Structure 1
């Protein structure tokens, strides 16, 4: 086949680096150096349940699956998303998306590529070298034009669709020739390739003694980097040689539009010197050849091709892995492609790994694929690269189908597979209401009416001014603006002409929440103090919603104040009060701001550090520095703690510590309810933590950020109220973690910095001053011995079942704090130090500092008195409870 220089080459690379290090695929280290394939794992037993499906466009359907399996005797469940593409439908097609502007060496997210190309759905694509220029490892054809040529690596499969719309999965080699005007020829090794180590070749270096073509799709000026081969380059425009570089020196230009550069080294360079001259004609020819059948494949007959890794399914059965998968282990997010036995359907598959899904092993992925009807399938890049986007019905753009391993973060990758529609504009087929499925009381939200045509593509119906109706009083609606009124589910209906659409909107009540959190959980207790108190609700469904001010009722304990427009203002403080509480209630569910005379205080700003700070690691080959340095940019003129690390020579789970004061750490003198710290991120996607040793000698690990997914400075606020740390304590280390799983997805070198560490210590004014001592109560006795002195109580403790119940008011009186009773709601509000606890009679659920939790027993009313489970309340409030069976006595200590 003659490769016409007149047509645009959208080219790709066999990505890699010198085999001093392996090419890195983003879900692990897929062994791309020479080696033998490992056998497939034992077939995984996996149960698959289809949850539902929705049309994306004519010929493409999004299907949602749940899977369950047993791992080491424990049940594991997860979710997988499958786009089924009907290749017999003339209006839908698959094609490969490439970087930015359709160019190589310009990485972009899956969603970004979909938006740029107009894809209605997409997934991430081929493996790539994260340290390379940005080109796929496998072969690629986009829009019927060769983009990438296959690598000389064994067991690397590719997925293709022919121009007559037949799917193919096979392993291919590339064969090419360069022909000079005098008839001399030299082998062509590939098109737009990064450097790598070929399997079974005579050289360690892919570009040694070889000729490669680079087209204008290769935007990097180096062709390629780290090749260990000094090139002689030839510029070819319209089949004519227009420049030849000095031997051993590349042309100092990017590839001009419509041209290509022949990059040569060694023997290939000698061919250039002996047979090529400016002004002469140069011809390049190439073909693909199946490794399994030895048949030639004309790329001109392909609509698209994308490279992958091992084959997973063949003949409807789990296949032996075609290449070592030892580095692709674990339970990760996965991406795969396959097709049905009759060739009608292509399956674009993504297994989720996030808070809702446990990920898959490769063996489980094989089982899943055979369960849903895949006849032949291969593995694409997974782990942190796994990303799927789709265009919901009647919408005009794609959205993230599920959270990636890094949350909403979409990794920048080298190519992806897009689903495209070419359907003409059809007639209106249906309409749907677009808007949030949940609201809070008092929340206002806008809803819109959107339509789709007979090809399931979006069509404008908004001009018809639809009429809106809400089915009941849980919400009100006016011209598309809906307001939550009371808990319940309302049917929202919009009518446009003869067409109508309905959707369910649930107005959440307190019983529907798992938590309420205040943006500022602590504040200074002083007249005139004013802080912003935005409140966020966490629904049991997983949704997170900002609570409108109008939906909140505030109660103030220990001070007089007000909340207006989301701002809490202290008007006056009650005499003798050092800790106050601003309690926010949403439909009976509570959270609180703890106000203290010793509110957030700067613990360390690194301006005058008098103790040593040192770098250390768990791996002796991990290097770095830690110390106080001058700040820069927005921190210019101040000092910060800088932590630089280099983990490239390490392996396994690696830590880079900034260690405070040798092994002693720096003291946190009193109980802290929360911690704030300014952090300069390095976008490394590593894990950021702090290590604290408490007064009992127990080490506590505090997550500052699960993923460092930002550059520059950012303020982090960490709730410590449920940490179980016994104060006083010591902060020993701030550190970066690079865990072993998916390690190549995160940077192994970087620099983070810290500044302005503060702790909110209401204990300085409350818990530190709370009474210490011992109280003894006896079952059936209306007397309590407090530090040896008997005091009367109006109701005796009782044992019911295996639990001891007491009147909590007397415990609070003895050890500080307060307990209040609301007879109408049957709720008990307990306040002590930084803890705010709300219990409900006959309910095992309680709320602690805004978070719903569950106990084994519930408060009860006995003989007209409210009694609470002693151990639950006392231990949650920092007290120690001991039970003496023989004497039926309870001892409480603080």
Structure 2
């Protein structure tokens, strides 16, 4: 046991979190799940769901190392790809592992905490890393989401015990001793307070939130108990919802300076002091034995549940709590606690160390567009596969966040997208990697900048250096010289201009050192799609809309296309694009549909402009049908009603959907239901939907429910994550929904799925306004000719609506496919075709369709998306013939084939 007198500590070296307050309910997060119960009087402290340990059988995972890069002397970032089989199907993903060499004297790991090292403030992993100077970091312990923000497990930061382990079974912790030895074990806490008269009383913990202990005599953590709160605990409540009336004692420099009987001291803990909080029998001890002016001492230790031996916290450099053990003796371990609440395939965070104790492994498994996540048993297999001898699970899911400082850079940045994109969840604590290396000599230099550019794009590059300890060093003063090779880009003083598709080697020289990097300039052939943020617009003089363009590449990347890389063409109107905005200057007489065609190196997309464009469907100013709140869980409460807007919606009406899911469980829905069970009709085929949504940053899922003309229910995602506050315009592509029109919108609703529920708000309010649908038959396709046209193979004639006329090239049959002259089809059914002899491309425009064909190529581009046909267009007698299947499938026409007469009938 170590005798400790609480005194001043180095606040700058200590790092902790604040959690959002709960009014009527405590939401206790353990392993990614919420247990909700009322807090009234002495009822209902957070239950942490102990269950019998589950035996685990590690799932087979194939691990391939993709590469590694030094972060600092003694720490490297290793990238892995893993492959496994789930339900008979192959699944792959990515994992990032920081390996820390404890034999290197310059590198260390330590626990980061909130803002300013305080337990009752919270912050993102990246924010804590920036504040504490960490060169890399990962999220840490589980915590009570309705509490103040202290970790559930124990925590030692900079050699100081900031929080003791909770009395919960199977909760393991990771630690590094001051002589740089790693350990993973399950700990309990033992301590006592000794008064001047020799009377003693047991301590139950240090800086703990209220919870329900397991395996003890008390149902509530603070009943008849005594806890120490240090100045790391900055909240005024010590803790929230302790369910009993406290007596508190202020101790400064080992001397009692204040005693408050049956009431908390109205103060935060002074710097260097501590407050003894007591309840019940512990409060009686204070009354009987403690007096202002007397000395008070405390002794305590951590006890290993494995060996029953005490561990002096003063021997630890750092400690962080986790959940179940995952790996022991290099093999998958039996889970030490039920993992049902942290099941599924998700992002994961874990810690481990090597058999010789030299290496610490900081592990993050990605769950994003590039990676499928892992199950816990898959994580066990992965950990043993990379050399982990003993390891434990940390908080995962949406909390999983890793940052690292790339070589030669000065700050740590997000290693990969989280489950929420670039959004970092505010958390209790994290584990940081730190360097104390001195300044060394220049070891190398590297070029920093984009690795992919688009034609016409300009980008700035910089030369950065690193020293013998792999820490950043300034080399800019050397006025580096730049050059590029390959001809696809030019460079001047670090500014690169992309000229044509290809790869260039960019080289910078500073003194005797030089660095090179490859920059790829993408061409049209490297793209799979071009997407305009606003695909439809009104065709009227003076109209102006934002037209941001995004390119998707064949390597599954996404690139924002700068204006300088695009060439715009205008059909049916005079217009211009400046600073990302399309403006209609004038409309040609008699034109009801226009096109703004954006081209990038031969790849095209289009904005379709029409006199009707997006049709206003509901603005909530004069609603004559009922709107009601419904849910799938009776305990979920809420409202759905048209209300007066505020802020930027002042003076107008909006549909407000409020919800409270705190009393519910499982997958929960909060619906705004339209017109009873009938819904409101969308009368014609809609290709897009737009609406204004007031978000609540709840991170919930936002959807719409339609019933189509065939009776099928169609669900449409409006936002996978509500990650904004205030009003935002959403544009939804309905073209791939398969909906049969007319259809009815039945519900707009918020979804809180069961998996990772603690990471999303259970209460909130969203609102909707200005719902519009783009219905081509009511806009861009209105007025297109109706009727039928007949052509026969080998005959230079076409019959349109009964009238026969001559054509200069006949339809043909070739290799089993029928080809028809596109010009005459468009003459009959509306639309236009433009031929570019230089590129051998045909641009076909009809209604809401912009179809780009290339002679003798099966690939085509429809409304900005690359697709493939079975056969290619061809040129015959100076006329373009296109495969009949393209006409029927892509231009919205119906085609019939009569085998006997070899006759084609096209109808609209």
After TM superposition, the score normalised by the length of structure 2 is: 0.93
Matches within 5 A, 1:737-776: 737-775=751-789
* Aligned-residue offset at 1:245: 1.4
Q: Report the equivalent of 1:655.
A: 669
Q: Bigger CA drift: 556-565 or 830-839?
A: 556-565
Q: Report the equivalent of 2:518.
A: 504
Q: Report the equivalent of 1:561.
A: 575
Structure 2 residue 709 is matched with structure 1 residue 708: no
* Aligned-residue offset at 1:197: 1.1
Q: Report the equivalent of 1:2.
A: 3
Q: Report the equivalent of 1:322.
A: 336
* Aligned-residue offset at 1:826: 2.5
Q: 1:392 aligns with which of 402, 406, 410?
A: 406
* Aligned-residue offset at 1:649: 2.7
Q: Report the equivalent of 1:312.
A: 326
Matches within 5 A, 1:158-237: 158-237=173-252
- Change in CA separation of 1:297 and 1:588 when aligned onto 2, cut-off 3 Å: same
* Aligned-residue offset at 1:2: 1.6
Matches within 5 A, 1:454-853: 454-775=468-789, 786=800, 795-797=809-811, 804-853=818-867
* Aligned-residue offset at 1:795: 4.8
- Please give the root-mean-square deviation of Cα atoms over the aligned residues, in Å: 2.6
Q: Distance in 1 between matches of 2:137 and 2:399?
A: 13
Contact 2:18 2:120 in 1 (8 A): no
Q: Distance in 2 between matches of 1:488 and 1:532?
A: 30
Structure 2 residue 366 is matched with structure 1 residue 365: no
Q: Distance in 2 between matches of 1:746 and 1:86?
A: 37
* Aligned-residue offset at 1:178: 1.2
**1:188-233 deviations in whole A, cap 9, x for unaligned?**
1111111111111222211111111111111111111122222111
Contact 1:721 1:835 in 2 (8 A): no
* Aligned-residue offset at 1:784: 5.4
Q: Report the equivalent of 1:292.
A: 306
**1:107-143 deviations in whole A, cap 9, x for unaligned?**
1000000000000000000111222211211111011
Q: Distance in 1 between matches of 2:80 and 2:234?
A: 40
Q: Bigger CA drift: 151-160 or 697-706?
A: 697-706
Q: Distance in 2 between matches of 1:330 and 1:778?
A: 59
Q: Distance in 1 between matches of 2:812 and 2:236?
A: 82
* Aligned-residue offset at 1:28: 3.6
Structure 2 residue 28 is matched with structure 1 residue 23: yes
Q: Distance in 2 between matches of 1:148 and 1:790?
A: 90
Residue 648 of structure 2 aligns to a residue whose secondary structure is: helix
Q: Report the equivalent of 1:96.
A: 111
- Change in CA separation of 1:444 and 1:34 when aligned onto 2, cut-off 3 Å: closer
Q: Distance in 1 between matches of 2:15 and 2:169?
A: 22
Contact 2:56 2:332 in 1 (8 A): no
Q: Distance in 1 between matches of 2:326 and 2:689?
A: 48
Residue 272 of structure 1 aligns to a residue whose secondary structure is: helix
Structure 2 residue 261 is matched with structure 1 residue 246: yes
Query: Which runs of no fewer than 5 residues in structure 1 stay unpaired?
Result: none
Q: Distance in 2 between matches of 1:326 and 1:143?
A: 34
* Aligned-residue offset at 1:514: 2.3
Q: Distance in 1 between matches of 2:636 and 2:823?
A: 55
Matches within 5 A, 1:13-92: 23-25=28-30, 27-28=32-33, 33=48, 35-92=50-107
After TM superposition, the score normalised by the length of structure 1 is: 0.95
Q: Distance in 2 between matches of 1:847 and 1:554?
A: 16
* Aligned-residue offset at 1:506: 1.1
Residue 2 of structure 1 aligns to a residue whose secondary structure is: strand
* Aligned-residue offset at 1:540: 3.0
Query: Which runs of no fewer than 5 residues in structure 2 stay unpaired?
Result: 36-45
Contact 1:441 1:509 in 2 (8 A): yes
Q: Report the equivalent of 2:170.
A: 155
Residue 83 of structure 2 aligns to a residue whose secondary structure is: strand
Structure 2 residue 423 is matched with structure 1 residue 406: no
Q: Bigger CA drift: 110-119 or 202-211?
A: 202-211
- Change in CA separation of 1:215 and 1:784 when aligned onto 2, cut-off 3 Å: farther
Q: Bigger CA drift: 786-795 or 632-641?
A: 786-795
* Aligned-residue offset at 1:886: 7.3
* Aligned-residue offset at 1:770: 2.5
Q: Distance in 2 between matches of 1:35 and 1:825?
A: 69
**1:507-529 deviations in whole A, cap 9, x for unaligned?**
11111222222333222212343
Q: Distance in 1 between matches of 2:716 and 2:599?
A: 29
Q: Distance in 2 between matches of 1:323 and 1:143?
A: 29
Q: Distance in 1 between matches of 2:897 and 2:235?
A: 74
**1:466-514 deviations in whole A, cap 9, x for unaligned?**
1111113211111111111111111111100000011111111111222
Q: Distance in 2 between matches of 1:551 and 1:121?
A: 36
Q: Distance in 2 between matches of 1:232 and 1:785?
A: 98
Q: 1:347 aligns with which of 361, 377, 398?
A: 361
* Aligned-residue offset at 1:302: 0.6
Residue 665 of structure 2 aligns to a residue whose secondary structure is: coil
**1:159-180 deviations in whole A, cap 9, x for unaligned?**
1111111110111111011111
Residue 525 of structure 2 aligns to a residue whose secondary structure is: helix
Q: Bigger CA drift: 511-520 or 730-739?
A: 511-520
* Aligned-residue offset at 1:678: 1.7
Q: Report the equivalent of 2:38.
A: none
Residue 767 of structure 1 aligns to a residue whose secondary structure is: coil
* Aligned-residue offset at 1:548: 3.2
Matches within 5 A, 1:417-456: 417-456=431-470
Contact 1:22 1:33 in 2 (8 A): no
